[in-house]
Structure 1
């Protein structure tokens, strides 16, 4: 293995000379094409930048972004205003003009492979403009890693979820309908077999490029198991839970009004979030409550990225009317964080229904806020988050409508002291996923690479 690694290093050096690749400069370049997504991935970016600045104060940090209006001061201000992350100094900014090549809309078919090779083209643009000593991918573009190594970079990544997993292949083999496996494919043996072949080839390529990383950080046990299975580099793979800013939520009182009882669902209006399942379960739970029981309310809170998300939101509203529960269902779109905290402070239940959510920051937020989580029985929520704390139950897991309905009614009928006891245990567990814990684990992971090159 050492001989092979040496030969590859010599080959990369020869190719760099042949292609006239610029020599890497002492700096950390963060490959993050979308710096305005406002989600957990962007929080990881800014917490990572701050951690690097604190560990190596003299090492410049740069961000590769496709956002045309991004500026050093503007990004530093956004990190502080949106996420409360104060950088030691503004990062350098290198604009990417070819971002369309990683957008899903560019590839109506074979989207995964199209976006993956498109990311290589985008990384080429980035690295020819500025070649850092450390190439840090915080957006999951594994196909860029061989290119970064070709340019002489040390490759570090924080992987939120695998681009492909054995679960995805398994669903195609079982011909299971899902948002990323439509009925046209599940209804055809031939098309299912073709998709299995496509996934198999892609999975092999994904494993090949992923293994080029010098250090891999993953956000959950589920993600780690899949990445290790595909990339085959367990010795270079570390689990580092994402930073969840729950400080404001931890201050909310556990005692709250229960007339009416409030259920909340926080998630973007995307197909994989399965809002319809929550709505159906809530309607069924209402039917099973005693007539004199206070009618609970369900609050959907989320953002819409595009026209399709807006249409999905409208369909949810229409469905609530069809179920005759529209007076008990509220929709809050694109609200401020302050308003979100206020809504979470009034909820006794937090709903989550995405299958194989790699981590589940919203579930952590429910727990920190004092809302008992009812989360999907898979991946991050099942393996890392909704676990007992000091032998006390912290929430419920479900996968089918009937299970969600049963859990909803169980919390609604729970005596107030018992509910507060469970909420307190959940809040204590949420502290395991703080920004401070991320900073400590992240710094420990990158120290051997960043300090060795100092």
Structure 2
């Protein structure tokens, strides 16, 4: 009897073990296979890695020699100090994780030449990394084959006024970027692009395997893939916008049509299928988030969504909570270049400025229709003898060539013609930084029309330049930027963090830094109210907005970025030390 009971117990335990372990077996086998693939990739790319490192060090020596012989006025003087300090670093300094860390940081950014806010973040991140770890090599995986390193860095300087140390910047060109283009996936676009990013990431790793891998564009699946291939490579994500969010799911039930391009799309059989697909993708996206060592988010809004979706999968991660690292904005330069005082007020024109990439999600049609409504109302209420010039709308943005962006801007021009505002609307594509500065110094209003804009770098630029902001009442602009501020520096600093600076188009309160709106009527009313403010109130609002913008300077971004990437460097250094110790033990 005892023997029979023992056999029965063993059978039950075996069945339980099978039920528990069998579902894990395919994933375990997959992990083992991918780790083997990763080992082969490392072995195959070892010679290329050595070539990249030797070429970078040779370029550093040439650059140092040229600066010693004849300093270039265009070169940042700090680089000379950096090189002097780093030249004394030993070959083993990478293991110490200090200023002399000399590993390879891979930045996954296939569209690094796009010229938008995401690209500003990328290049400021590279600049901060170069300053902190001058021996580190910054590899950017890009699909912009038409741009050489020289032309790329020149564009970065002209567009963003960012000067980089060229020798330690390496561009590696991807041949598979088309697989992350939305046009490749007319259906199930989210899943298609995410799976396509795995193809592009595999392409990147076959160019060189970095010591730290950072996604700066939003392809989170590449980070999980990196972890499965190379468990020793720490991963970091700078999240501009969650691939899917609870707001997107809620928008399926929106009847107003104001919540993005999928508003109200959850009805019927097709809508039901879409909802199920999005929910399944959200679970998969959450699992992916558990494979990221360090997560940075560009706004409180983004961090809240990432915390909700990724949080359950990150319970066992040392750096569990996402850090909010606001994107860098040229606040210091804008303050020094553009005056905000009684004299400058006289040079402001009734111009509404929108700086945004020409893409559908930026919702330019809403702005064009709002401006047309505003002009109609303005013409009715304005005196026929008024000396004020007719308000104008200027739209500035980058355009990805050979892409749907070109068709999009063509359609926007047609819409401006249909709305009879063509003579009062100007489109400027791929403007240089000096051109943008010029318009920021003379415009009166800065606008952002995107629903759930993840942050809104252009809005901070408006504030720093002294423009009165009119933004969509959602996302980062509502949560972090267009908020109430004290009227003077002597007021309580606690007011600076208060939410809810003008919540609609009916006028700002005493501490408002701008206006928020959602509909055409609200935007049109906000334009009218902002332009009609008395001079004293305009100047007070511009001053408050400029003080608010100080929270988003390049210096603040550098601090946040380096604090988080420092964690990745520490992980990488620990991993290198462990590998060295294991090798020494084996050889002994």
Give the TM-score, by structure 1 length.
0.90
Q: Which moved more, 1:233-242 or 1:157-166?
A: 233-242
2:375 is matched with which residue? Answer: 286
Q: Is 1:249 matched up with 2:368?
A: no
CA distance in 2, matches of 1:369, 1:95: 37
CA distance in 2, matches of 1:59, 1:284: 53
Unaligned 5+ segments in structure 2 are 1-24, 50-102, 488-510, 574-588
CA distance in 1, matches of 2:447, 2:320: 36
Q: Where do residues 28-43 of structure 1 align in structure 2 (5 Å cutoff)?
A: 28-43=105-120
Distance 1:346 1:98, change over 3 A: same
1:84 is matched with which residue? Answer: 161
CA distance in 1, matches of 2:151, 2:428: 28
SS in 2 for 1:196: helix
2:268 is matched with which residue? Answer: 189
**CA offset digits 1:34-93 (Å, max 9, x no partner):** 221111111211222222223223332222122224545554444434323233333233
1:228 is matched with which residue? Answer: 307
How far residue 33 of structure 1 moved from its aligned partner, in angstroms, is 1.2
SS in 2 for 1:367: helix
SS in 2 for 1:387: coil
1:273 is matched with which residue? Answer: 362
Counterpart among 348, 351, 368 of residue 262 in structure 1: 351
CA distance in 1, matches of 2:170, 2:457: 29
**Does the CA-based 8 Å contact 2:137-2:168 persist in structure 1?**
no
CA distance in 1, matches of 2:398, 2:108: 24
Counterpart among 227, 235, 243 of residue 163 in structure 1: 243
Counterpart among 223, 238, 242 of residue 323 in structure 2: 238
Q: Is 1:390 matched up with 2:486?
A: yes
Instruction: State the Cα RMSD in Å.
Output: 2.8
**Does the CA-based 8 Å contact 1:63-1:94 persist in structure 2?**
yes
CA distance in 2, matches of 1:90, 1:79: 15
1:44 is matched with which residue? Answer: 121
Distance 1:263 1:211, change over 3 A: same
Q: Is 1:417 matched up with 2:536?
A: yes
Q: Which moved more, 1:158-167 or 1:30-39?
A: 30-39
CA distance in 2, matches of 1:77, 1:264: 26
SS in 2 for 1:181: coil
**Does the CA-based 8 Å contact 2:447-2:469 persist in structure 1?**
yes
How far residue 278 of structure 1 moved from its aligned partner, in angstroms, is 2.1
**Does the CA-based 8 Å contact 1:301-1:332 persist in structure 2?**
yes
**Does the CA-based 8 Å contact 1:374-1:398 persist in structure 2?**
yes
CA distance in 2, matches of 1:378, 1:443: 29
Q: Is 1:120 matched up with 2:198?
A: yes
Counterpart among 426, 442, 445 of residue 349 in structure 1: 445
How far residue 296 of structure 1 moved from its aligned partner, in angstroms, is 2.0
CA distance in 1, matches of 2:441, 2:234: 44
CA distance in 1, matches of 2:170, 2:418: 52
Q: How many residues align?
A: 447
Q: Where do residues 330-349 of structure 1 align in structure 2 (5 Å cutoff)?
A: 330-349=426-445
2:556 is matched with which residue? Answer: 437
Q: Which moved more, 1:287-296 or 1:119-128?
A: 287-296
Distance 1:324 1:51, change over 3 A: closer
CA distance in 2, matches of 1:262, 1:245: 21
Q: Is 1:93 matched up with 2:93?
A: no
How far residue 376 of structure 1 moved from its aligned partner, in angstroms, is 0.5
Distance 1:237 1:415, change over 3 A: same
**CA offset digits 1:6-39 (Å, max 9, x no partner):** x999995775246634279842111111221111
**CA offset digits 1:178-216 (Å, max 9, x no partner):** 663288x56x51000000011011111111111110000
Q: Is 1:210 matched up with 2:289?
A: yes
Q: Which moved more, 1:431-440 or 1:274-283?
A: 274-283
CA distance in 2, matches of 1:162, 1:287: 38
SS in 2 for 1:132: coil
Counterpart among 261, 269, 278 of residue 180 in structure 1: 261
SS in 1 for 2:361: helix
SS in 2 for 1:62: strand
CA distance in 2, matches of 1:342, 1:406: 26
Larger Rg: 2
1:3 is matched with which residue? Answer: none
Give the TM-score, by structure 2 length.
0.70
**Does the CA-based 8 Å contact 1:222-1:358 persist in structure 2?**
yes
1:58 is matched with which residue? Answer: 135
1:145 is matched with which residue? Answer: 223
Distance 1:258 1:43, change over 3 A: closer
